[in-house]
Amino acid sequence: MSKKVGILGCCLVALWALGSALAQGLVTPEHQGAVVIASQTVRTSIDGSLATTTVEQVFKNLTGSIQEGIYFFPIPADAALSDFVLIVNGQEVAGQVVEAGQARATYEEIVRRIRDPGLLEYVRDGLFQARIFPIMPNSEFPITLRYTQFVPYELGAYRYRYGLAVAAQAGGAIGKLDVRITIDAGQALGAVFSPSYPVTVERGDDGRVTVTYEAENITPERDLSLHYTLQEGQLGASLVAYSPGGEPGYFALLLSPGFAQEAAVLPKNFLFVLDTSGSMDGEKIMQARNALDYVLDTLNPDDTFNVIVFSSDVQTLFRAPQPVTDDTRAAGHRLVSRLVAEGGTNINEALLTALGMTSRLPDVVVFLTDGVPTVGEQDVGRILANIQTANQDEARIFTFGVGYDVNTFLLDELANDSGGLTTYVEPGEDIELAVSDLIKRINNPVLTDLALETAGVEVFDLFPRQVPDLYLGSQLVILGRFEGSGTLQVRITGQRPEGAVNFEYALAVEASSQNSELAYLWAQRKVAVLLDQIRRDGETQEIVDTIVQLGTRFGIVTPYTSFLAIPEGEGGFAEPLAPPDTSTSLGQRGRLSATAPSSRATTGAGAVAQSEELNRLRDADTLGDDERQSVKQAGGRTFVLKDGVWTDTEFTEGTVTVDLEFLSNAYFDFVIANSDAQELVSVGDQVIFLYQGVWYRITPAQA
């Protein structure tokens, strides 16, 4: 992604020690780290399309001497230069605005002095600078910057970008980060989507939307990117695209419901299937009772419901689902109060009983268990076949696995095959909280049985393959690839209480070098689908090769790309999902683990971790924070640190490269002449990267 467009950047502070001669010069490597960013608070208010941003950073002088500094700020391309206000320790400080042409020399000088190429992405921007003195020893000092800018509107969506990555190049890790963006567009918003960080989106009754992101001890590798649309009609649709050049592009289709609250809710038939076997005794059964009590109290008046409890035998609250009334709720609460944990685990009969109670309404099965089948049919394959045969009304099955003794393959397949979700509640976690969170999410469906048709522009490899139901207050993100450009005709069909509905859109698809996050998100979803296929049917060489290729290029940790693995204990895949094929072609590349289990792991802590990682990849719509210190992602590519060189994972040793000496005139000339390569160059001071079909190598600077 290109971070020079629309940057709402962080500040840069170049510091130098006050020596005996008080000579001023930009920071040298041995002085780096003298001042750190203790905290950063960002408050942005978007009114219509005008954004006012206030950035407060608290810096800390870690040295025992007074420091002097120059405050540098890359000026966003669309910011109002006259509206920059800088406040240091409560006092407004005069600053100087340097136009982009003049600022280039300053940027180059900063890069030469601190020997950090990260700032090269901003070399075409203007510059705001001010002298800061004194910075007292071992003390903190706040700097507040305020400015305004217009949020660009392109292809049906507004695109706001905040330059978090600048902080990493300027001051390293941020101790505490607090970002809050309030949007008042004058009308209801549709989709609000950040592919770069896991933001929280809250929608107010007045139409305003608040987007928040908080983190501690974070070294941002990318800017915070936010896309949002205005709500138009009952179902809003917009498209965000990325074209890396030389290959098909990537896109995200955003769908957001605009149905009014009072008219949005579809009646449902809820079937709650609860495990009361002996292993649920103690805290688990108490939390399960509380969760079921909560669910009963939140049912909508037009819903129907039933409760199925099972251990060795199966018991139902009613012979058939009943309407929600005070009397039926009370009956449900009485059953819950009498629940005890004893007996075995008859999963097959419990689910078949539930599926025998489906109705003309959309059916929702909520299935909670903490074990594996021990009574009745115990073969997982036959259980899945039985459920598939019985589920003729296409009930959505939402599964909860409590603890580590569950069969993750069974729970995941039940949910995936029916369009539901799987949630794992690990030991020590709250069952009631997990269940209530799901019910809040799915309690108000506005469209079910969605189907997607496209024409006009060739699109392929869309994920998810089965479009899920759409719920009030939520949105759908469909990721895919495209060839060419033009107008994409989109038709969405679905079910409402009044019957079948359809929506048609004409969305522009144009080449864009921005939004490279989309490539990583698409790749994560495709890898999840392929790993699911291996989990279900076993390995084939073709599938493994595709996983290796995607994992290598996009830095995705898989059982077959162990060289990209994160440190032990930080999640991810502990072992392959199935026995590996140790063929020569893969073995020579070192992708496969030599210590694979002899059978597929379906129970235990490792199996739960694998399932959770698969679910994360399958639903990926934001990159989040990558804890791997030896892996970086930029411009749709992934780089691994090898012998001090950030190397593109698809580079083959012995390939001819064009060499550019770090900090040389030729180096800076290349950066200025090729703006879309700036993100690749900024990966490090030694980099091997691919640009326009040519491999380049940034070599060490000569003394």
Structure confidence by residue, pLDDT tens digits, 164-201: 776 455 556 788 899 999 999 877 888 888 888 889 98
- Any idea which of 273-277, 516-520, 587-591 has the lowest mean pLDDT? 587-591
Residue 564 pLDDT exceeds 90: no
Structure confidence by residue, pLDDT tens digits, 411-448: 999 998 898 989 998 888 888 888 888 888 887 778 88
Residue 7: band (very low, low, confident or very high) from pLDDT cuts 50, 70, 90: very low
Residue 79: band (very low, low, confident or very high) from pLDDT cuts 50, 70, 90: low
pLDDT of res. 449 = 87
Residue 6: band (very low, low, confident or very high) from pLDDT cuts 50, 70, 90: very low
Q: Is 403 left (phi over 0), alpha (psi -120 to 50) or beta?
A: left
Highest mean pLDDT among 344-348, 531-535, 663-667: 344-348
Residue 120 pLDDT exceeds 60: no
Residue 269 pLDDT exceeds 80: yes
Residue 1: band (very low, low, confident or very high) from pLDDT cuts 50, 70, 90: very low
Average pLDDT over residues 676-687: 85
Structure confidence by residue, pLDDT tens digits, 289-346: 988 999 999 898 989 999 999 999 999 999 999 999 999 999 999 999 999 999 999 9
Only one residue has tokens 């990267």, namely 689
Cα separation values, 63 from 12, 17, 168, 569, Å = 18, 10, 20, 35
d(CA 368, CA 401): 6
- Any idea which of 99-103, 204-208, 640-644 has the lowest mean pLDDT? 99-103
Structure confidence by residue, pLDDT tens digits, 446-502: 888 899 999 999 999 999 988 888 887 778 899 999 998 899 999 999 888 778 889
Q: Which residue has the higher pLDDT, 528 or 106?
A: 528
Structure confidence by residue, pLDDT tens digits, 22-37: 221 222 223 456 777 7
pLDDT of res. 341 = 92
Residue 39: band (very low, low, confident or very high) from pLDDT cuts 50, 70, 90: confident
Average pLDDT over residues 372-389: 92
Only one residue has tokens 């490597």, namely 29
pLDDT of res. 212 = 94
Average pLDDT over residues 280-287: 89
188, 147 in Cβ contact below 8 A? Answer: no
- Reported as type and span, the H/E element at residue 408 is helix 408-418
d(CA 600, CA 602): 6
Structure tokens at 513: 């070098």
pLDDT of res. 354 = 95
Closest CA to 60 of 39, 41, 42: 39
Residue 254: band (very low, low, confident or very high) from pLDDT cuts 50, 70, 90: confident
pLDDT of res. 35 = 72
d(CA 257, CA 470): 7
Q: At what angle do helices 517-537 and 605-618 cross, to 10 degrees?
A: 130
Contacts of 135 (CB under 8 A, 6+ apart): 15, 35, 59, 61, 66, 67, 68, 69, 141
Whole-model pTM? 0.74
Exposed, middle or buried, 20 (CB in 10 Å: 0-12/13-18/19+)?
Answer: exposed
Mean of the per-residue pLDDT values of the chain: 78
Residue 568 pLDDT exceeds 50: no
Cα separation values, 560 from 228, 299, 529, 563, Å = 36, 45, 15, 9
Q: Which residue has the higher pLDDT, 148 or 306?
A: 306
Residue 133 pLDDT exceeds 90: no
Residue 292 CA, chain-centre distance (Å), reads 30
Q: Is 211 left (phi over 0), alpha (psi -120 to 50) or beta?
A: beta
